[in-house]
């Protein structure tokens, strides 16, 4: 199971248990070409990213805004900071200034270890 799948399962549990409401943010895309053989079988043939997305997840926990990014690496000893984009850091910084709860979950896949970094 990937990190994203694990987080999504956790978020379902938090919602069902009324602990928190957290959702994965959709990536903003501009659809250009779609094949419609039937409405239920529509296929996107061409699409482009409209803008840089901010972070992967957001929601609310005990009245506090929650915002976080999920990252994975196969490295065993380090996590390249270049995997964070400038717009993500700016977004998290702006949320922190508003007293939001912000963090990153990093999964080291080859080690099956997880780290939460504020």
> How many residues are present in the chain?
118
List phi, psi (to 5°) of 95: -65, -40
User: Given a cut of 90, is residue 104 above it in pLDDT?
Assistant: yes
The dihedral region occupied by 102, where left means phi > 0, alpha psi between -120 and 50, and beta the remainder, is beta
Note down the domain range covering 55.
3-117
Distance between CA atoms of residues 10 and 101, nearest Å: 17
CATH number of the domain that residue 63 is part of: 3.40.1350.10
pTM recorded for the entire structure: 0.80
pLDDT at residue 80, as a whole number:
87
User: Given a cut of 70, is residue 8 above it in pLDDT?
Assistant: yes
Q: How confident is the model at residue 42 (pLDDT cuts 50, 70, 90)?
A: confident
pLDDT at residue 70, as a whole number:
94
CA atoms within 13 A on the CB side of 113: 10
Number of domains composing the chain: 1
- How confident is the model over 81-94, as a mean pLDDT? 91
Computed over every residue of the chain, the mean pLDDT equals 90
């Amino acid at each position: 199971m990937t990190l994203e799948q694990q987080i999504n399962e956790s978020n379902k549990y938090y919602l069902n248990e009324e602990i928190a409401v957290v959702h994965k943010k959709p990536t903003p895309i501009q659809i250009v070409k779609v094949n419609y053989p039937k409405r239920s079988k529509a296929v996107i043939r061409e699409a482009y990213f409209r803008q840089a997305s901010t972070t992967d997840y957001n929601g609310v926990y005990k009245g506090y805004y929650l915002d976080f990014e999920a990252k994975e690496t196969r490295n065993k000893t380090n996590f390249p900071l270049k995997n964070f984009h400038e717009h993500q850091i700016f977004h998290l910084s702006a949320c922190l200034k508003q007293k939001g709860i912000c963090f990153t979950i990093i999964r080291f896949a080859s080690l099956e270890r997880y780290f939460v970094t504020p």
